[in-house]
Structure 1
Amino acid sequence: MNAGSTARTLLAPVVLGAAAIALWQLLVVAFQVEPFLVPSPSGIAGAFADTASGIMEASLATGLNALIGLLIGAVLGIFVAIIANALTFLDRMLVPLVAALAVIPIVALAPIFYAMFGAAAETGRQLVAAVAVFVPMYLNTLHGLRQVEPVHRDLMRSYAATKEQTNRMLLIPGAIPYVLTGLKIGSSLAVISALIAEYFGGPAKGLGRAITSSAAASNYTVAWAYVLGAVLLGTVFYGVTAALESFSHRHRSGT
């Protein structure tokens, strides 16, 4: 991708976003919409500037839980997928379990983990994020491990390669793009899950609790400022994993 194409790719969403924000501001001012319904972008920006230190502190708390959950879910997802790929019977056993995990709502998991580990501990919020990340990591890794061409497997057999060597030299390298795609998906899920889990109790230092506390106190514009903080946090997580995926692709293609 040349510089001009890259610039156009980056410029298009910026222009669209700026136009959407301008229209939002215009409609709120023109129709005199009350802040408790929808505050104006300028009001949210002002509240964000006034509470920047609090938003940063809350973002760090939520971000740390999301990061720990992302790492736990990613490691478990990759590990279980490698085992399931080697043991077909285990894969068949895991299908209904993974399907169940995929549809379990976060709002149901959070109170259960809080009862197990205590609402004051961050463990429950981290595990909620880990469960959300596990599913895409497992499915993407398993799919990647099974994309190897039969001729490549036959070549490894002709060299009398062991199963461990085949996994290390053929299957795992071939699955890396799928693993990174799962990580990119999981990064957003980790932030969303950690954020929602904070709604159900515990120390009021994360973005989720800050949003609910501000809304409960009728500080709706401040609540939206914390929502903006959550959007920026999710963007950072997604951006880092997307950059990692892009770097890996360029490295593999030799460009």
Structure 2
Amino acid sequence: MRPGEATRAGLGRTALAPIVLGVAVILLWQAAVTVFDIKPFILPGPFQIGAQFGDNLQTVAAGMLVTGRNALIGLVIGAILGVIAAILSALIRLFDELAAPIVAALAVVPIVALAPVLYTMFGANAETARQIVAGLAVFVPVYFNTFKGLRQVRPVHRDLMQAYAASRWQSTRTVTLPTAKPYVFTGLRIASSLAVISALVAEYFGGPVGGLGRSITSAASSSNYGLAWAYVLGSILLGLLFYCAALGLEKLVSRRPGS
């Protein structure tokens, strides 16, 4: 077998295992619902959820678009601010000492308490509150992972840059940031899913009509549990889309020359 064929075969086996596991779980789930006569308000069967997902595909897609847009805005803004704050913390000790307790406090802010306050501040008809919630959820893991990566530079590399009389910014740009890149993308992959979850949860507590969170609440309140789970399925797909996009970006950047 040629090396290329061996690689493709290995990738095929790697992709086949989770597919087989997923199909087995779905079949066992459906069998359990049927055999034990589990009521839909407790747990609907996957076939019912799939049917509702297909019948309401346009509505689910519209909700995914609203939630995805808010999550994307929060992801981009939160990631940029997280990287910048981590760089400043690594360069300036005083900034690090000031930022550490603030970031620690942001890490434990409950969305259920923050979202209603932000809706009051920015208005119930604006998407701003949802985007801010998503941005805060993204900021924390990106900041901590980037900051950890910036501290991973070997002393010999720092000594070499000092020997070349490089400025702090030159050392950061040529040595520190490339070393921290894997940590940045680790934080970004974690944050990509958190952005979707946070934007979705924020939709439960008010704001404009639209988005998967409000759709789940509306379907559940009208006892349409299959449809509610169809929106949950849409949320899962959206989270996977964000995660795969972050992973794809990491692979793309890593393959660039000089990366």
Q: TM-score if structure 1 supplies the norm length?
A: 0.96
Q: Which amino acid aligns with 2:222?
A: A
Residues 87-146 of structure 1, C-alpha deviations (whole Å, 9 max, x = no match) = 112212222211111111111111111111012100000000000000000001111111
1:163-202 aligned within 5 A: 163-202=168-207
Cα gap change, 1:7 to 1:253, in 2 (>3 Å): farther
1:121-200 aligned within 5 A: 121-200=126-205
Match for residue 96 of structure 2 among 81, 84, 91: 91
> Distance between the aligned counterparts of 1:36 and 1:43, measured in 2?
12
Q: CA offset at residue 247 of structure 1?
A: 3.2
1:1-255 aligned within 5 A: 2-251=7-256
Residues 170-223 of structure 1, C-alpha deviations (whole Å, 9 max, x = no match) = 111211111111110000000000000000112221000000000001111000
66-75 or 112-121, larger mean C-alpha shift: 112-121
> Distance between the aligned counterparts of 1:141 and 1:55, measured in 2?
35
Q: CA offset at residue 33 of structure 1?
A: 1.3
Q: Which amino acid aligns with 1:76?
A: L
Q: Which amino acid aligns with 2:127?
A: E
Q: CA offset at residue 165 of structure 1?
A: 1.1
Identity of aligned residues (%): 56
170-179 or 203-212, larger mean C-alpha shift: 170-179
Secondary structure (helix, strand or coil) at the match of 1:183 reads helix
> Distance between the aligned counterparts of 2:108 and 2:188, measured in 1?
19
> Distance between the aligned counterparts of 2:91 and 2:116, measured in 1?
35
> Distance between the aligned counterparts of 1:92 and 1:12, measured in 2?
47
Structure 2 residues not aligned, in runs of 5+: 1-5
Q: CA RMSD in A?
A: 1.5
Secondary structure (helix, strand or coil) at the match of 1:200 reads coil
Q: TM-score if structure 2 supplies the norm length?
A: 0.94
Secondary structure (helix, strand or coil) at the match of 2:39 reads coil
Q: CA offset at residue 2 of structure 1?
A: 2.4
Residues 230-254 of structure 1, C-alpha deviations (whole Å, 9 max, x = no match) = 0000000011111222333444798
